[in-house]
Amino acid sequence: MRSSLLGILAAFASVLFAIALEEAHFLSFLKISALILILGGTAGATFASYRVEEFATMAFHLREALFPKKEFSLTDLFLDFAERARKNGLLSLEDRLSSVPDSFLRKGIQLIVDGTDPRAVEEILFEAAEGLEEKEIRSAKILETAGGFSPTIGIIGTVLGLVGVLENLGAGTRALGEGIATAFIATFYGISFANLLYFPLANRIKSWARVRSNRRQAMIRGIISLQTGDNRRILAERMAPFLEEAR
């Protein structure tokens, strides 16, 4: 979370510092009309591309990606499950279901407790994992879509500004210069928001989604290992390649 927010702040700060080095007036880059056009136009075009439910999911995923919860140790949890299953059988794991903090893991444990065929367990969990990952990646694509629209909306703003300049060619050299500069502010906003905000946030969700996907893959391997009665060492070895905590 810190790296994402610090990176975005550093990017915007670099732009402001560059403006200061060019001895340009900061107020010259503050155009409310252009800002409204870029933010409103980008939001509208992006909203038109997706369903409302997808935006709600994206907001949830973005919050989780930027402010991730502290993860519990899957290795420790599964080793405890393996010990319980060895002593008392798989049915004894049902008593622990209510304390399992992950719904995907609860689903998998419930399947093996219910005596579901191992092949069916594997298929059900892999399909569920793919569905969850697809939703997470789609959230990133929403932000990427916004990043694609933003520069284009900026060009529209620039064209509108230049039309106004051309309509007032007789206003004098200074007025024309100010008008042209104002027109290009829209493009500046569009490119800046796309590359300093939307795309970095999309990449952050993708990075978070990869971690989540790996944890789910580790859960699947652990659940299958529990069902087949593997010993603790084999169980841990099967899960290790997918866990950051094991690296």
**Any domain includes 180:** yes
**Any domain includes 57:** yes
What pLDDT was estimated at residue 246?
A: 41
**Any domain includes 214:** yes
**Any domain includes 17:** no
**Any domain includes 58:** yes
**Any domain includes 93:** no
**Any domain includes 63:** yes
Question: In terms of DSSP H, where are the helices of the chain?
Answer: 2-21, 32-47, 52-66, 74-88, 103-113, 118-166, 173-193, 199-228, 232-239
pLDDT in tens, 3-20: 777 777 777 777 777 666
Structure-block tokens of residue 30? 């503050």
What pLDDT was estimated at residue 144?
A: 97
Residue 46 belongs to domain spanning: 31-72+120-246
CA gap 182, 156 in Å, rounded: 13
In total, how many domains does the chain have? 1
CA gap 9, 11 in Å, rounded: 5
Structure-block tokens of residue 112? 């093996």
**Any domain includes 60:** yes
Instruction: Answer yes or no: is pLDDT of 230 > 60.
Output: yes
| Contact partners, residue 5, CB within 8 Å, separation at least 6 | 66
Instruction: Answer yes or no: is pLDDT of 102 > 70.
Output: yes
CA gap 195, 32 in Å, rounded: 20
pLDDT in tens, 129-152: 999 999 999 999 999 999 999 999
Does residue 235 contact residue 222 with C-beta atoms inside 8 Å? yes
pLDDT in tens, 158-208: 888 787 777 666 655 666 666 677 778 889 899 999 999 999 999 999 999
